[in-house]
Structure formats: structure tokens, C-alpha cells
Amino acid sequence: MCIIGKLRKNGSITKAAILIGTLFLQSCSDPELSYVPQGGTILAFGDSLTVGVGADRVSSYPSVLSELSGRQVINAGVSGETTAGGLERLPEQLSQTNPDLLILLEGGNDILRNNEFAAIERNLSAMIKLAKDRGAQVVLLGVPEKGLFLGVAPFYEDLANEHEILFEAQLIASLLRNPAYKSDPIHLNEEGYRVMAEKIYEFLQENGAF
């Protein structure tokens, strides 16, 4: 619960007080996660980074996340998938698994193929809406743009703000910038996927999922 202190001094609201109050209100409105119970289900939905290409399946981030969290984490990754393919596939996955939480990691293949950002954003938006309409919470993982510094593509933050969902911006980019975590230019190795799972676990834990 957020507590906002008194903003009035001598009967008037100062500019500093208004600013402080605004910051407190913004922090109050940040999205948080509901607790995922021990019997709950997490759906890890994405492409080859979800599958775990570059390592054994048991070393994929969903497998490691399941070990860390004690929850069922379903690996629903498909190598090479674009957001258009993901949008077609997601309704059946949601129906089959009825997840408490969806971790959405899509868009990398679109970016590699130079697909229009507007189309990627529309597809991701539709996926987020589908999940929320089914009662699932959504956590969005940002995918970097092409380029030397691997900054996250800008529409991910826009989507998180629009749908009021939690968004992790830097994890994938930071892992791909570190050669020690990579099996090839676009995939992680066993150590990389473990670090990925550990960071996602910490992120979920900090935001109330566990």
C-alpha cells in the first residue's frame, strides 16, 4: 500500500510537494503480479530462446525456472516463429494449459527478417489481450533491435504501458552482449539459459509472483 504524506504547507501546495505526490502516485499504479500458487502454471511462450536452442532441453530457461520456483513451467517455444505465427498458436496453448502467468518472449525473428515494427507491435498486443482475456497475467520480455549496442526495440515498452503489464527490458540484450553466455550469435548456451532463468525468477519474485 502506498502512503502519500501531507502535501500542504501553510494552506498551499508547493511545486515540490506536487512533484513528490505525483511520483508516489505513479509508484502506486505500477503493475504487480498476483501470487502464483504451488499448483499453478506458468506458460513460457516464445521462439528458440524459449525452446533453449544451443543447449539441452533440460537446460532451457523454462526448465530451470521450474526448478527454482517449484511451479509447473510449460515450455511452449517454437524455433523460428514470428509474432504472426505466435498469434495463431497462442489461443490453443491458452486453452490447453489455462496458465496463471504467461511469459511472452516473441519478436526476435521478426526483427531479424526486418518485419515492420508496427506489425510486430500489433501481433504482440493481440497476444497480450488474448492472455488477459483468459485471466492470465502477462510478463513481457523485451527483444533487442539489430545493431552494435543491442538496445531493446522501442515498442515493447509502449506495449507494457498500454496494457499495464510488467516488462523486463534489458535481460535478453545483456545476455546476448556477453560472449560467455552464447552458443552462436543469436542463441544462448547452458550457462546463459541458467542465468536467464535466475534473473526471471528474481524479477517474478520481486514483483509478487512467488
- Secondary structure class of 41 (helix, strand, coil): strand
DSSP lists the bridge partners of residue 113 as none
> Taking all residues of the chain, what is their mean pLDDT, rounded to a whole number?
88
Shared domain for 107 and 127, answered yes or no, is yes
Helix axes 83-97, 117-133, angle to 10 degrees: 10
Shared domain for 82 and 48, answered yes or no, is yes
Shared domain for 1 and 70, answered yes or no, is no
Shared domain for 19 and 98, answered yes or no, is no
Return the CATH number at 42.
Answer: 3.40.50.1110
Shared domain for 102 and 120, answered yes or no, is yes
Shared domain for 21 and 43, answered yes or no, is no
Q: Domain limits at 1? A: 1-30
Shared domain for 122 and 194, answered yes or no, is yes
Assign 4 a pLDDT band (cuts: 50, 70, 90): very low
Shared domain for 62 and 10, answered yes or no, is no
Among 26-30, 54-58, 117-121, 149-153, the minimum mean pLDDT is found in 26-30
Shared domain for 7 and 65, answered yes or no, is no
Tens of pLDDT, residue by residue over 81-128, are 999 999 999 999 999 999 999 999 999 999 999 999 999 999 999 999
Contact 187, 54 (CB under 8 A): yes
| The pLDDT of residue 146 | 84
| The pLDDT of residue 16 | 44
| The pLDDT of residue 17 | 44
Domain count, the chain: 2
- The three-state DSSP-derived secondary structure of 79-146 is CCCCHHHHHHHHHHHHHHHCCCEEEEECCHHHHHCCCCHHHHHHHHHHHHHHHHHCCCEEEEECCECC
* Residue 155 vs residue 29, higher pLDDT: 155
Interatomic CA distance for residues 24 and 181, integer angstroms: 38
pTM of the predicted structure, to 2 decimals: 0.85
Angle ∠(195,71,28) on CA atoms, nearest 5? 75
